[in-house]
Amino acid sequence: MDVDHALELMQKKIGTQDHEDDVIRLATALDFMPLAMAQAAAYIHKRAPRCSVQQYTEKLHRSQKSKLSLLNRDETDLRRDREASNSIISTWQISFEHVRNLRPSAADLLSFMSFLDRQAIPETLLLASIKHYPSDANENGCDNDVATKDSTDHDLGDSQSDSGSSVDELEEDIQLLRDYSFISVTSDPEFFEMHALVQLATQKWLGANGRHSQWKIRFIEVLTHEFSDHESESMPRAKILFPHAFATLHLDAADTHAQPMFATLLLDAGHYAYKTNAYADAEQLLTKSLMIATQIAGNEHVQTLCTMYCLACTYDVRMRPEKAEQLFLQVLSIVEPSPEEDIGPIKHYNLRLWVMSRLSAMYREQGRLVESEVLGIRIMMHAVNAKDTLVGLKDVTATYNSQGRWLEAAGLLRQAIEGFRDVDGPAHEDTVDAMQTLGELYLDNGRLETAERMFSVVRHARKIVPGSDDLELSNLRGLGMTYVEQGRLDEAELAFSQILESMSTQLGMDHPATLENKKLLALVYQKKGRLAEAEAIYSQVLESQTLTFGTDHYSSLSALALLGGVQCLQRRYNALEITCRSLLEIKTRVFGMAHFSTLVTMADLAWALHWLGKTQLAVELMARCAALSFQTLGPTDPDSVDREDWARRGMEVDTEQEEGAPGAVSSPSSAVMAGEEQQTARSVEDDIPGGKGSTTERTSE
């Protein structure tokens, strides 16, 4: 801020024109910092005519000489240069001492707000803090010890008069803090914000006066209560509170009194972050929650186990299978039933079910099919109801299908359907869910007419007895994919458009499940020749999934491969080369050079180089791909044979093959989509327990 702006601000804030020399001296003393000038002007205005600019400057100099050197206590906390920070601390201390003497409850409120994220502070959270901790009767409320938990667990639904009194009290506190430029109102009048240096100065004062710990405990208690309620009941409300819960990551967890609540808050916030696809945030929150829970309760406490499970799920989604498996197995080793429990109730039954199901899916994706099958069978053996039996049955039949034993899988499902129908009826959700799974199995193995009939039966049953939205959308998706395989593209487009509209409304446009269904709609556009529309969708999906999961996640790789398929159909070979090189770099780093999926992309890149006339590079790359294919897939594998023959003939391909569907990248259903991209990824919206003991079912994408 320059001199002219300082004079203008003082004139605007104070309303009368003091001597310019006095204003300039004050501005110089405050290093021309806008926030410091605003705080000084607010103080002078509120104290006029008993305080002038000159008098304030003199008071400022006295304060600077006598005040505690708060900022010297922890230099690493400074958010700006030292001179600027000292300007703020000086004006802050003058104003704060005045507010504290004038209205202790306002000083209390500022102390509480100093722990929140500085932006978008909701009025409702401030009101909750007053209801949890009413202002103390004496004139120095912030001097008192924090009340015990028992004394603060009063009914928040008090009488209308009590509620109105709290609102009035809060309004007066807020107005006073605004008058002294401690806080400001955002564009939404129900939200406030404060400068980072105001928060820093307030916390430094609390620390210097021995009150930082008690206010930290108060903050954690209020936020834990509010977030725990809204995380399970109201996602929009939890969204408002999440930044403030995330802000607790920097807090020290050493206070014994606050540790159990702190661990719960971090678990709830991590659970919310997982459900909203903020996986990096979830990992940070859950890691700290697990550290605290382990320290205070040990590995076998239910909250510790739930936190382990949540963190393992986060590792799984973030493509860290080794760390995920380690945590899953650690939980399973603790909740595994003893021999005598095999014939009675199993402790932590639900958690054990969730862990085994996630592990089974992980092993199946890694090709560890025997281990996956064993876990699915164990789930079925210990299931206590039809729904849990179906969870295990889905894992077993999916593994059988991966082993080429799909007829056995179909037999198991038909047997289960008969059993569910006899016990619960033909329209019961478990019966219909099993029929939907059987339809998907038929679709996956090319039995299109049978699959369509099964999906139609499910759809009819849903009309008789409405069930979950997830099952209805899965049914519509199955029909849509059947229509695609049958070439009934108009019907497929209608089905996928309906799914996309429903998911966009329920989950949001950028939710991973919504994005996966956008790919299906783009596939239909591609098959109908609407390549520009398909490319636009693939590009948008790639951007969103990369932002959510990172470049190495299978969803991001799938979107990048699909984009390459469209570029190939458009004969944009320069763009295709760039896409294939990106895919090859990522897959080599993540899977290794000899992985079958990496080899697919290597062959795709060779074709792209060939189409660009880079014949020697193409032949050398395909020869290398063939050699690695011999090692990984064996010399008799069709892909190994084709690649070796392709390289040996030195690109002697005829024009028809070259312009038709050459090799890997001609369409999304070709080799560019082989490997892990062609598999339907496990749904990232699979729920995880939030530590409250609620039963959560695993859904299939």
Give me 378's structure tokens. 């164990």
Distance CA 457, CA 100 (A): 71
Q: Is the pLDDT of residue 134 over 80?
A: no
Query: 348 vs 309, which has greater pLDDT?
Result: 309
Query: 141 vs 593, which has greater pLDDT?
Result: 593
Could you tell me which of 116, 63, 72, 48 has the C-alpha nearest to residue 93? Answer: 63
pLDDT value for 205: 84
Q: Is the pLDDT of residue 64 over 70?
A: no
Distance CA 562, CA 569 (A): 11
| Single-letter code of the amino acid located at 290 | L
Q: Is the pLDDT of residue 209 over 50?
A: yes
Distance CA 679, CA 691 (A): 31
Residue 434 near residue 467, CB atoms below 8 Å = no
Could you tell me which of 124, 244, 262, 117 has the C-alpha nearest to residue 193? Answer: 117
- Residues with Cβ within 8 Å of residue 363, at least 6 apart in sequence: 369, 371, 372, 375
Q: Is the pLDDT of residue 159 over 50?
A: no
Could you tell me the end-to-end alpha-carbon distance of the chain, in angstroms, rounded to an integer? 56
Q: Is the pLDDT of residue 345 over 50?
A: no
Q: Is the pLDDT of residue 677 over 60?
A: no
Classify the phi-psi angles of 181: left when phi > 0, otherwise alpha if psi is within -120 to 50, otherwise beta. Answer: left
pLDDT digits (tens, 9 = 90+) for 651-661: 554 333 444 43
DSSP type of residue 134: P
Q: Is the pLDDT of residue 477 over 90?
A: yes
Of the listed ranges 464-478, 484-498, 525-539, the one predicted with least confidence: 464-478
pLDDT value for 548: 81
- Label residue 676 by pLDDT band (50, 70, 90): very low
Sign of CA dihedral 634, 639, 644, 645: positive
Could you tell me which of 480, 487, 486, 485 has the C-alpha nearest to residue 459? Answer: 480
Identify the three-state secondary structure at position 308. helix
pLDDT digits (tens, 9 = 90+) for 492-525: 999 999 999 998 888 888 888 889 899 999 999 9
Query: 350 vs 11, which has greater pLDDT?
Result: 350
Is the pTM here over 0.85, yes or no?
A: no
Q: To 10 degrees, what angle do helices 104-113 and 196-208 make?
A: 110
Identify the three-state secondary structure at position 191. strand
Average pLDDT over residues 327-342: 75
The H or E element that residue 193 is part of is: strand 191-194
Query: 135 vs 35, which has greater pLDDT?
Result: 35
Q: Is the pLDDT of residue 78 over 70?
A: no
Distance CA 304, CA 311 (A): 11
Average pLDDT over residues 149-162: 42
E-state strands within 307-417: none
- Label residue 343 by pLDDT band (50, 70, 90): very low
Query: 191-194 and 121-122: which strand pairing?
Result: antiparallel
Of the listed ranges 188-202, 409-423, 604-618, the one predicted with least confidence: 188-202
Q: Determine how many CB atoms are found less than 10 A away from the CB of residue 129.
A: 22
User: By percentage, how much of the chain surpasses pLDDT 90?
Assistant: 42
- Label residue 163 by pLDDT band (50, 70, 90): low
| Single-letter code of the amino acid located at 376 | G
Query: 402 vs 345, which has greater pLDDT?
Result: 402
Count of positions (residues) in the chain: 701
- Label residue 257 by pLDDT band (50, 70, 90): confident
Q: Is the pLDDT of residue 182 over 80?
A: yes
Q: Is the pLDDT of residue 346 over 60?
A: no
Average pLDDT over residues 539-568: 90
Average pLDDT over residues 402-427: 90
Residue 373 near residue 400, CB atoms below 8 Å = yes
Q: Is the pLDDT of residue 153 over 70?
A: no
The H or E element that residue 185 is part of is: strand 183-185
pLDDT value for 255: 67
pLDDT value for 60: 67
Q: Determine how many CB atoms are found less than 10 A away from the CB of residue 2.
A: 9
Q: Which CATH superfamily is domain 213-335 in?
A: Tetratricopeptide repeat domain (1.25.40.10)
Of the listed ranges 70-79, 358-367, 504-513, 599-608, the one predicted with least confidence: 70-79
| Single-letter code of the amino acid located at 661 | A
Q: Is the pLDDT of residue 578 over 60?
A: yes
Distance CA 444, CA 436 (A): 12
DSSP secondary structure string for all residues of 407-441: HHHHHHHHHHHHHHHHHH-TTSHHHHHHHHHHHHH
CA-CA distances (angstroms) from residue 446 to 112, 484, 627, 667, 671?
62, 12, 32, 19, 18
pLDDT value for 167: 80
Residue 584 near residue 576, CB atoms below 8 Å = no
Residues of the chain with CATH 1.25.40.10: 213-335
pLDDT value for 33: 65
- Label residue 420 by pLDDT band (50, 70, 90): confident
Identify the three-state secondary structure at position 30. coil
Q: Is the pLDDT of residue 158 over 80?
A: no
Q: To 10 degrees, what angle do helices 302-317 and 259-275 make?
A: 30
pLDDT value for 108: 92
pLDDT value for 466: 67
pLDDT digits (tens, 9 = 90+) for 370-391: 999 999 999 998 888 888 888 8
pLDDT value for 527: 94
Distance CA 160, CA 140 (A): 27
Q: Is the pLDDT of residue 141 over 70?
A: no
User: By percentage, how much of the chain surpasses pLDDT 70?
Assistant: 77
**pLDDT averaged over the chain?**
79
Q: What is the 3-state secondary structure (H, E, C) of 484-512?
A: HHHCCHHHHHHHHHHHHHHHHHHCCCCCH
